[in-house]
Structure 1
Amino acid sequence: MHRSPAVEVHGLVKRYDGRAVVDGLDLTADAGRVTAVLGPNGAGKTTTVECCEGLRSPDAGTVRVLGLDPVADAAALRPAVGVMLQDGGLPTGVRAQEMLEHVARMYARPLDTGQLAERLGLGAFARTTVRRLSGGQRQRLALAVAVVGRPRVVFLDEPSAGMDPQSRLAVWELVRELRDGGAAVILTTHLMEEAEDVADQVAVVDHGTVIARGTVPQLLAMGVDRDGAATLVVHTDGDVDPAGLAERLGDRFTVERRSGTSLAVTGAVAPGTVAATTGWLAEQDVLVTHLDLGRRTLEDVFLDLTGRSLR
């Protein structure tokens, strides 16, 4: 039997000062899956999530969460939806553990707050007020508050922002458990590697609309020819113009500048490609310090779709 998506967004429009920051956006998210909503700053992803959470009212289009309108049916949805806002959204004068236990008492079958606090490392700052927590500590507390009620749908806006590697690991393990328990998880993140690792579905948003969607393998296959594609990252000891290398390799490859003095060559990379690349760099009197050869990544796809210039 066909099951309706846990979240359905059709033709969503939201304007600020007459400008549409979300413009005809369509999005679905299924139960038991992690849906990552990716996009540059200002693309409209946070506004979209806020409309799904009932924090903003659409100017046009429809939004349904578990079949209900998140604004008109907010009271009915509240017990079934967990929300982690980008800025935490927590009262600053409350102690961390008191905050978690207060929220837990609002639900009929909350998670064990002691166990949840232990796995997210809240014990070290349990008696500290929210205003005195670090950014990463606030994020961990906000995540605990979002999931303590065993939500059927959970919205996580930049859940691992400001966290150290150990905290991020704990967050993504918890996200996978929510998914495996049947919850629909909708998250935004700028961390492409983590989105690639945890997401079952990805929607790329730019200029207020979804410009690509699919599973991670489907997105990684975009623009790849039958020979497949890999990315050769060449680290050098000097600044190099990517246009010169692109001319040498031909139009079967794209060459882009990466951070520092490295270049990324994407295409059907073969031993001859490596030889041609290092040979051209030698002609420019540029030393290659090391090479990295890997497959196309979600970050590569994201940059292909949304561009590489700052906004």
Structure 2
Amino acid sequence: METGHTAWGTANHHRQQEMVDMAETCYESKDCQCQGCPGQGSAAPLKPSSALELRGAPENTPLFPEWRVPLRVTSALLSVTFIYTFLREVLQPYLALSKNYFYKVPVLVMNKTLPWTSVTLLALVYLPGLLAAIFQLYRGTKYRCFPAWLEGWLCVRKQLGLLSFSLACLHALYSLCYPMRRSYRYRVLNWAYQQVQKNQEDSWVSEDVWRMEIYISLGILSLGLLAVLAVSSLPSVSDRLSWREFTCIQRSVGYMALLLGTAHALVFGWSGWVDPRRYVWYTPPSFILACLLPLAVLLVRAALLPPCLSNRLELIRRGWERPARPTPHSVRNGDGMTGLKL
């Protein structure tokens, strides 16, 4: 979102640094080979131990350092959402109604946990950019550093986005497996038997049909846009994109994916917002909690769209700085010099 610290610039900076490090290592390796074999036209291969020394003992380097915080955040979100869904979908019916729904844990509970975490991670991708824009508007300049916590957050947006896309793909696979479950087949047979018992010829419910058609379509569109974001973040693809192209994809397509994903959850809930039966143990349905952070991000984004803010933000990103305000205790003398007011 902010100039000077975009995902495109950060990614290219890291890749260029890696190329420089590799080039230096290769240059040192060539020098060592030539020194070890003087007078020969070709350099002899280095021993494995020498190569490890040149690389600075890579076996001691950190493992996936850029993924540690995103993975911890994802694990924490998955744990919280899983426990919340388990309490509502499995434990509450067992304790209050003596119904055994533990069979829902492997598929149904997981399939509610995955999209909740995915859309939350996607919101966390765009929230730091909005905070950075607010900081720039408040300060009136882009040349002041962001807080350390915001800097770190901005640097892990790519990892959070890829994890969000992965969980969304798992959610789609889980949903496709619904008809394969034995419990689903038994449930369909029970529905058919109940329809026969009621002597009901047609069980068509237009509201349910429209709801399912709409939220499935929104989910597919959101997943498709997330795939575009994931592909554009690959180094082989992003290297061929200009800064403007990369920013357009990450901003426009990303916010559209977040909007469609949030709409997917809202339509899935449909009228569950006002249904008292959905509030078991005085807790709201999971889709309500899943939509809170994405809706907040979208509202902040919409608040920054008016020209009075967007134009000012664009000027700041191009290098414009707000003039410093004169202090209330300073006055200007007749010769133009500024002095202190006594």
- Max radius of gyration: which structure? 2
Structure with more contact order per residue of length (Cα contacts < 8 Å, sep ≥ 6) = 2
TM superposition score category, shorter chain reference: under 0.3
TM-score (norm 2): 0.26
TM-score (norm 1): 0.28
Identify, as 1 or 2, the structure richer in helix. Answer: 2
